[in-house]
């Protein structure tokens, strides 16, 4: 049972990690938390669902097209809701992010309805690997999560765009002096983060179900992962996401009833802020800024 819970935790952690990456990238560049990120993931999940269920597209086509369309949504959000407030107090950007989240949730609820939806994939027999049972869908979720995280690592370390993103994260002013178009790079960060958020939302929807309020849960878990790993630390966010996924699954089996599963992320967030405000891999000054 312990092995099964660990595997389930890693599967959940992979989906959380994709959402946490977007949080971490935006914070690394603009130094503010995009609380609309979970709602963007929800929008991506519903776009894929509509393409798959209503337009009868193959799931992989719906998946990729949803990531592209959600990337466009992310860029539009940055242009309309965040760019005009870039030099305003951070509380203004935070308020705008919360407003965007409410707008996206309401729009999906009006257009699609509040009923729980599922992708209705064909039933497939689970596979037994030693003491662990895993379904083909869960294997696909793990493979997709690792593929996207590996691709992002290569993008950030091996491409000119990745170097430009890291330069802007080190300082927008210095990057612009070096000839980097910071507005273009920030738009690229929102596009990449939103596309990965869509992937996270779709994978969660495939594994469980879809509902317009799922964005809030994704927001909480991704934000907890980012804080646990260290604000602005991309790999710390990934580690925090996997840790939350594992602790959740162990917690609801050994400590709390399943109804408390989503609240475990809150507990981890509180403990992390209390014991190590900078996060597991964060810098001291980042932790102090977070507390303030």
Asked whether residue 74 is domain-assigned, the answer is yes
Query: Which is more confidently placed, 79 or 138?
Result: 79
77 lies in some domain: yes
Q: Structural domain of residue 177, as residue ranges? A: 2-212
pLDDT in tens, 175-223: 888 889 999 999 999 999 999 999 999 999 988 889 999 999 898 888 8
| Residue 86, phi then psi, degrees to nearest 5 | -60, -35
**DSSP E strands: which ranges in 116-271?**
127-129, 132-134
Q: Which residue has the higher pLDDT, 18 or 268?
A: 18
Sign of CA dihedral 168, 88, 193, 283: positive
Q: Enumerate the β-bridge partners of residue 280.
A: none
Q: Does residue 277 fall inside a structural domain? A: no
- Asked, for residue 281, whether it belongs to a domain, the answer is no
Tell me phi and psi for residue 117, to 5 degrees. -120, 155
- Could you tell me how many residues make up the chain? 292
User: How far is Cα 69 from Cα 73, in angstroms, rounded to an integer?
Assistant: 6
222 in a structural domain: no
Name the pLDDT band for 282 (thresholds 50, 70, 90). low
User: Is position 118 within any domain?
Assistant: yes
Answer yes or no: is 283 within a domain.
no
CA distance 108 to 39: 10
CA pair distance 231, 102, nearest whole angstrom: 24
Residue 286 has pLDDT above 60, yes or no: no
Structure-model confidence comparison of residues 282 and 150, the more confident one: 150
pTM value? Answer: 0.88
Residue at 270 is within a domain: no
Tally of structural domains, the chain: 1
């Amino acid at each position: 049972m312990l092995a099964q819970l660990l595997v389930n935790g890693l599967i959940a952690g992979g989906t959380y990690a994709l959402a946490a990456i977007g949080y971490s990238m935006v914070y690394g560049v603009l130094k503010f938390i995009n609380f609309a990120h979970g709602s963007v993931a929800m929008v991506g999940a519903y776009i894929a669902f509509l393409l798959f269920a209503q337009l009868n597209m193959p799931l992989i086509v719906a998946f990729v097209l949803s990531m592209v369309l959600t990337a466009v949504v992310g860029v539009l959000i940055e242009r309309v809701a965040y760019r005009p407030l870039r030099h305003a107090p951070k509380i203004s950007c935070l308020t705008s992010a919360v407003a965007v989240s409410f707008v996206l949730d309401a729009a999906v609820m009006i257009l699609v309805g509040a009923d729980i939806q599922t992708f209705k994939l064909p039933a497939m027999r689970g596979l037994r690997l030693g003491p662990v049972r895993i379904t083909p869908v869960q294997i696909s979720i793990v493979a997709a999560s690792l593929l996207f995280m590996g691709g992002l690592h290569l993008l950030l370390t091996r491409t000119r765009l990745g170097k430009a993103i890291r330069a802007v994260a080190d300082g927008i002013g210095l990057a612009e002096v070096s000839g980097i178009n910071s507005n273009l790079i920030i738009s690229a960060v929102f596009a990449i983060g939103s596309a990965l958020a869509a992937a996270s939302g779709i994978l969660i929807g495939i594994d469980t179900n879809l509902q317009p309020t799922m964005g809030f849960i994704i927001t909480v878990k991704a934000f907890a992962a980012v804080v646990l790993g260290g604000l602005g630390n991309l790999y710390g966010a990934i580690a925090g996401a996997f840790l939350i996924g594992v602790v959740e699954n162990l917690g609801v089996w050994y400590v709390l009833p399943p109804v408390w599963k989503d609240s475990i992320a809150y507990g981890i967030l509180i403990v992390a802020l209390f014991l190590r405000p900078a996060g597991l891999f964060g810098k001291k000054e980042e932790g102090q800024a977070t507390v303030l």
